[in-house]
Amino acid sequence: MNTAAIQQFLHERFGAAVGPVESARLFDYVEVDPSAVEEVALVLRDHPDLAFDCLNNLSGCDRPTRGRIQITYELFSYVHRHAFVMKVGARRDRPEVRTVERVWPAANWLEREIYDLLGVIFLGHSDLRRLLLPDDWVGYPLRKDYVEAPEYHGISTVRESALKLSERR
């Protein structure tokens, strides 16, 4: 099944919560409303014609000009050998999306990483806490407006530019 057929199938079930097929450089994708992501994920996994049993990747990207943090779900079906990409745009000022870890357990750590670096709250997540940064870290480093503090617990976070170091050699 191709992206257009999957989109049509999902649109018939979920209506306006499933957007049209959008083209990107590497792959076509479908945007899904954040309120419907868990239900759509269950259909994508459980419907025999779709059978998306593998969450290949889950990533996030800050889109401040759109007021969104975009979450991208890359799916694959080993049964049917087809792929599908869905994207969810969470409000940047209050980024909340339902977790899909009960649908695809691999989402657990991937959602934690997105929470840690972009601040997206995955509602219903079993263990949503920082994964890469210390618990007392302030801010979300992958946001475009993030400004790193000059020090952390007395340790300087200022590094000399690698370009300046290479000039001295």
Query: What does the pLDDT look like over 101-130, one tens digit per residue?
Result: 999 999 999 999 999 999 999 999 999 999
Q: How many CB atoms lie within 10 A of CB 129?
A: 9
Query: What does the pLDDT look like over 69-105, one tens digit per residue?
Result: 999 999 999 999 999 999 999 999 999 999 999 999 9
Length of the chain: 169
Residue at 35: amino acid letter: S
Q: What residues contact 46, with CB distance under 8 A and at least 6 apart?
A: none
User: For the chain, which domains are there?
Assistant: 3-133 (3.30.460.80)
Bridge partners, 121 (sequence order) = 96
Cα–Cα nearest to 97, from 114, 80, 85: 114
Q: What residues contact 51, with CB distance under 8 A and at least 6 apart?
A: 45, 77, 78, 79, 80
Structure tokens at 59: 């990533």
